[in-house]
Amino acid sequence: MMAMENSTVHNEVITDKGIGEESLLPQEHRIMNNTSYLLTWLGGCVSIGTFMMGASLVPPAGSLNLLQALLAMIIGNTVIAIGLTINGRAGHQYGIPFIVQSRSSFGIKGSIVPGFIRAVPAVIWFGVQSWVGALAINNISIILFNYDNLVLFFIIFQVIQIIMSALGFKGIKWIENIGSVFILCSLIYMFYYINTNFQTVISEKLINIPGSWGLEFWGGTTAFLGIYTTMMLNVSDYMREFNKEAKPSIATIIHWLAIVPATLFMGLIGLMASGITGEWDPIILFTELIPNKFVLVLALMFIAISQITTNVLNNALPPSYVLMDIFKLPYRKSVIIVGLLSFLTFPWKITTQGAFMLFVQFYSAFLGPIFAVMVTDYYFVRKQKLDLELLYNEDGPYKDINWAGMIAICVGAVVALIEVQLSWYSSLIPAGLTYYLLMKSGKTSKSFLKGSNMG
């Protein structure tokens, strides 16, 4: 397998893979139908980051009322659902992962840059969500057995996730499909519990306040884009496993049905609970909010399981593919390295509210431009036609760095950082237009015009 991947010119496709086997070669055999794909995304989208982000929109942390927060989440996640389908089209059509897709717009050597930018937040998220999951397990242990050992549970939780991630996409598929059922039931119950028991407080603190329809509102939509914009980059990693006969409209509907309800439940639970207690840490929040021991253990178990389903899909697989591409490592070894690196992210520091918001806003400024460059390249420069021979030929015309893509990232990021609350939106047109004009001139990227509509 490795010999095939390191060959100079691509002439093979992967027709099937066993559990724990992953390859960067084009994927011909698809393992997910519509239902499986929906459940996989549902399990992967129940992120504790969504819970925290929902809490950050309303007082005391934010300034939106309940209606404005709800609309901000719907708008942001509808944009995400559309963006996933648009950028995932190349992976769905050709069976290639994100790191290979990015070669046409950044070059084989240049693709290391967007790969690295995508991998870093994934590794950090891996650490953050593992820390939150370990906190939940530790609290369950305290409640049931009066045993407190957070460091031990953090290590055990990490090892479990590394093992699960090492199962590859076939294993991840079943983890997500089974876990999503428990997660969905838990979400519905927690939403019902909070809304029923604290309706008066919710009305006073979240509904009957003026809020804001200005910058804070649109910044709220960007906040949720910031959580999922990483997945919008590497969505081809997932769509290349999705039924090849499915139309883009079906994929968009599935993305929307998976992301929007899960995000609304998590975000609404987070903002309602935060509005009631003034806390945004989910562990502290549920401990203060739920007096019933059984319900509290159920809520904490939900938090722990949701970290696993999110991490193995969103935060282990993408950076592992990047390591496979850059260092020519096998998949399982790459997963282990990603898991070990997440130990070094000091997640107990990032989970403070100020650091968390800054982290999301800052990396969104770079992910938006990469998304714009890749979409512009695939739809306007290549006209949805990729030459796989060129993408896999390490000695061919794409072997170096496409400076048009690099310059476009820088232009988009500079514009995005002018106003970080709108960073993702504001970066798209400058980055995309810069890339198109540079490619059209052909001065900086002549070799990359081969196989394109402009070549």
Q: How confident is the model over 228-263, as pLDDT tens digits?
A: 788 999 999 999 999 999 999 999 999 999 888 877
Each residue's pLDDT tens digit, 130-173: 988 999 999 999 999 999 999 999 999 999 999 999 988 888 77
Question: Which superfamily does 2-449 belong to?
Answer: Hydantoin permease (1.10.4160.10)
DSSP, res 400:
S
Percentage of the chain with pLDDT > 90? Answer: 44
Each residue's pLDDT tens digit, 210-237: 777 877 788 777 777 767 788 999 999 9
Mean pLDDT of 377-403: 95
Peptide bond into 60 cis (omega under 30): yes
The pLDDT of residue 316 is above 80: yes
Which of 46-55, 293-302, 426-435 is least confident?
Answer: 46-55
pLDDT of residue 360: 67
Percentage of the chain with pLDDT > 70? Answer: 86
Each residue's pLDDT tens digit, 16-38: 776 767 899 999 889 999 999 99
CA gap 121, 47 in Å, rounded: 14
> What does residue 201 show for φ and ψ, rounded to 5 degrees?
-65, -40
What's the Cα-to-Cα distance from 78 to each of 117, 252, 257, 260, 438, rounded to whole Å? 24, 9, 10, 7, 31
pLDDT of residue 1: 38
C-alpha closest to that of 360 among 45, 57, 49: 49
C-alpha closest to that of 233 among 398, 120, 108: 120
DSSP codes, 295-361: HHHHHHHHHHHHHHHHIIIIIIHHHHHHHHHHH---HHHHHHHHHHHHHTT-HHHHTSHHHHHHHHH
The pLDDT of residue 197 is above 90: no
- Between 276 and 69, the higher pLDDT residue: 69
The pLDDT of residue 205 is above 70: no
- Between 108 and 214, the higher pLDDT residue: 108
The pLDDT of residue 266 is above 90: no
Each residue's pLDDT tens digit, 180-195: 777 677 777 777 777 7
Query: How much is the mean pLDDT over the chain?
Result: 84
> What does residue 32 show for φ and ψ, rounded to 5 degrees?
-125, 125
CA gap 23, 168 in Å, rounded: 10
pTM of the model: 0.86
Domain boundaries, the chain: 2-449
H-type alpha helices, 22-109:
34-45, 48-57, 66-94, 98-101, 103-106
Mean pLDDT of 424-429: 89
Rg (CA), the chain: 22
